[in-house]
């Protein structure tokens, strides 16, 4: 009687322990929370995404664990195609078109020798006043444009850099008057007086231009000078042959 009872007790105990052992031996699948995003995920999906984590899964270490934290940082740093350009984390700067600026400024450096600068200035004013005095009294449109272009190039090529920069500024404020000889003469004389005022020099009497800057050429004789057609000018220098004794 007692042996039957013992066998019955052992059989009942086995019937209770075997299902419990089978149930506990399998990995429990449930919801787990991602510590980075805070989202709830199925344990199997969590394992397939990040590998087997012994801290999370509490199971046998049969599957290797791969840390995917670096990949998450790379994915977060990539721009989202659904966002606009202004909403990107690091938007690229816009490409600006290249704009060519007009030529401005002197080609020569500053002239530091005061004596040489003063001598150059006196020679330059004499040259310019004499040129205006010999300019055609009633110039053609081409002649007027040539004078205007000459003054612009002169302001770039003048050997005194600081003087050239000041001359360019005056050309912008008081553009050249090139429609007649008288206009050109008075315009240059007015410009000369502005320079004299800046240098604290006495004002020049523009009525005495011909007396002060006399080129010594004598009265004009129209037709006495042979003119060269600009269209026929080739710019080639003619070298005269040199005889060898």
- Per residue in 194-215, pLDDT (tens digit) is 999 999 999 988 888 878 877 6
Unique residue bearing structure tokens 């231009």: 209
CB neighbourhood size of 151 (10 A): 20
pLDDT in tens, 141-151: 999 999 999 99
Look at residue 135 in the predicted model and tell me its pLDDT.
94
What is the reported pLDDT for 229?
56
Domain final residue pick, 5, 37, 66? 66
Residues near 139 by beta carbon (within 8 Å), at least 6 away in sequence = 147, 178, 179, 180, 181
Q: Are residues 60 and 121 in the same domain?
A: no
* pLDDT tens for each residue of 62-102: 444 445 555 555 555 555 555 454 455 565 656 655 443 44
pLDDT band per the 50, 70, 90 thresholds, residue 242: very low
Q: Are 171 and 151 in contact (CB under 8 A)?
A: yes
Is 125 in the same domain as 208? yes
Answer whether residue 59 is part of any domain: yes
In a domain, residue 89? The reply is: no
Q: Are residues 54 and 131 in the same domain?
A: no
Q: For residues 121-150, b (16+ Cβ closer than 10 Å) or e, as one string?
A: eeebbeebbbbbbebeeebeeeebeebeee
Over residues 29-54, the mean pLDDT reads 55
- Which pLDDT band holds residue 13 (cuts at 50, 70, 90)? confident
The answer as to whether 224 is a domain residue is no
Q: Return the sign of the alpha-carbon dihedral for residues 197, 201, 207, 208.
A: negative
Q: Is residue 88 situated within a structural domain?
A: no
Parent domain of 39: 28-66
Q: Are 64 and 53 in contact (CB under 8 A)?
A: no
Pair 62, 122 in one domain: no
pLDDT of residue 172: 93
Question: Averaged over 126-139, what is the pLDDT?
Answer: 94
Structural domain includes residue 94: no
Question: β-strands 31-33, 40-42: how paired?
Answer: antiparallel
Phi, psi of 32 (to 5 degrees): -125, 155
* Helix residue spans in the chain (DSSP H): 2-25, 43-50, 54-57, 69-77, 114-133, 141-157, 161-173, 181-198, 209-212
pLDDT score of 14 more than 60? yes
Q: Answer yes or no: do 127 and 192 share one domain.
A: yes
Q: How confident is the model at residue 48 (pLDDT cuts 50, 70, 90)?
A: very low
Same domain, 119 and 60: no
The verdict on 119 and 62 lying in the same domain is: no
Q: How confident is the model at residue 239 (pLDDT cuts 50, 70, 90)?
A: very low
Give the confidence band of 245 by pLDDT, cuts at 50, 70, 90.
Answer: very low
* pLDDT, position 147: 96
What pLDDT is attached to residue 219? 61
Whether residue 190 is contained in a domain is answered as: yes
Q: Do 62 and 125 belong to one domain?
A: no
Q: Determine, yes or no, domain membership for 56.
A: yes
What per-residue confidence (pLDDT) applies to 96? 55
Residue 107: its pLDDT value, please? 87
18 — pLDDT class (breaks 50, 70, 90): confident
Nearest to 125 by CA among 172, 175, 160, 173: 160
CATH number of the domain that residue 197 is part of: 1.20.120.310
In a domain, 73, yes or no: no
Number of structural domains (the chain) is 2
Residues 119 and 186 in one domain: yes
> d(Cα 93, Cα 85) in Å, to the nearest integer?
10
pLDDT by residue (tens digit) across 162-198?
999 999 999 999 999 999 999 999 999 999 999 999 9
Q: Please, which residues have CB within 8 angstroms of residue 105's CB and are 6 or more apart in sequence?
A: 156, 165, 168
| Nearest residue to 164 (alpha-carbon basis) of 121, 114, 102 | 121
């Amino acid at each position: 009687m007692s042996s039957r009872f013992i066998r019955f007790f052992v059989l009942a105990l086995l019937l209770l322990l075997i299902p419990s052992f089978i149930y506990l031996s399998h990995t429990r699948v449930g919801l787990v929370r991602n510590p980075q995003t805070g989202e709830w995920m199925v344990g199997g999906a969590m394992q397939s995404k990040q590998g087997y984590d012994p801290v999370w899964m509490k199971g046998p270490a049969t599957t290797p664990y791969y840390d995917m934290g670096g990949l998450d940082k790379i994915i977060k740093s990539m721009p989202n195609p659904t966002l606009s350009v202004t909403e990107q984390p690091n938007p690229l700067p816009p490409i600006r078109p290249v704009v060519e600026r007009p030529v401005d400024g002197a080609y020569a450096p500053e002239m530091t020798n005061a004596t040489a600068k003063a001598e150059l200035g006196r020679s330059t004013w004499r040259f310019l006043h004499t040129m205006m005095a010999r300019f055609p009294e009633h110039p053609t449109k081409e002649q007027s444009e040539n004078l205007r272009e000459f003054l612009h190039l002169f302001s770039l090529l003048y050997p005194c850099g600081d003087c050239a920069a000041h001359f360019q500024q005056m050309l912008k404020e008081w553009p050249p008057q090139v429609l007649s000889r008288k206009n050109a003469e008075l315009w240059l004389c007015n410009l000369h007086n502005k320079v004299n005022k800046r240098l604290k020099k006495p004002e020049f009497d523009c009525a005495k231009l011909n007396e002060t800057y006399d080129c010594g050429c004598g009265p004009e004789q129209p037709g006495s000078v042979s003119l060269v057609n600009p269209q026929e000018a080739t710019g080639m220098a003619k070298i005269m042959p040199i005889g060898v004794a």
